[in-house]
Structure 1
């Protein structure tokens, strides 16, 4: 199954340069999110996964999103795990997490 997905992902990655918010961009981001989610769950337990995943993807460069999307097809390695952690700990990502990721979670408990 993964052998079939590799050419498909390669085509999508190539098409993702065609424009933001297009089908290829959406599929690439979805694949990248599928890669990010388990890393966040393991490394940052208790963080609301969907908002945190969105913050990581929103603060990743296009090249980083493509790298994470590729890892979703070829397999998550230490380099991609480190990349997720690096993006998650950037100041802009932390601000996003505080604003969009953790605030709604904290307000529900109050």
Structure 2
């Protein structure tokens, strides 16, 4: 009986983790439009051809709380909180490394 209970708990937790990953992926995909808009309109120093790599690196390195900020911005519009959140993600070493790899491939110019 105990192995059956343990297996049931394991399967339930696995299903929960898969559902969480799917929801996170959908939220990140939905947030891309907001981040793209914010980078295009609020970060004029980013060349047009690098907006997509910047967006992808921000989304990939944002935590769940930051993704929620972006999701909220999709409803109410880009505001100072959105911009501050993007700046925070952009300042992380992992994001800088992502941008270096992505922008070099996109433009041939290292960042």
- TM-score of the aligned structures, taking structure 1 as reference length: 0.69
1:97 matches 2:99: yes
Query: For residues 25 and 63 of structure 1, what CA distance do their matches in structure 2 show?
Result: 11
1:75-103 Cα shifts (integer Å, max 9, x gaps) = 22211111112211222111100012x11
Task: Please say which structure displays the higher CA radius of gyration.
Answer: 2
Query: For residues 60 and 19 of structure 1, what CA distance do their matches in structure 2 show?
Result: 16
After superposition, the CA RMSD in angstroms is 2.1
Q: Alignment partner for residue 50 of structure 1, among 45, 49, 52?
A: 52
Tell me what 2:20 maps to: 19
For structure 1, list consecutive stretches of 5 or more residues without a partner in the other structure: 1-16
Number of aligned residue pairs = 89
Query: For residues 72 and 29 of structure 2, what CA distance do their matches in structure 1 show?
Result: 11
The alpha carbon displacement at 1:65 in A equals 0.5
For structure 2, list consecutive stretches of 5 or more residues without a partner in the other structure: 1-17
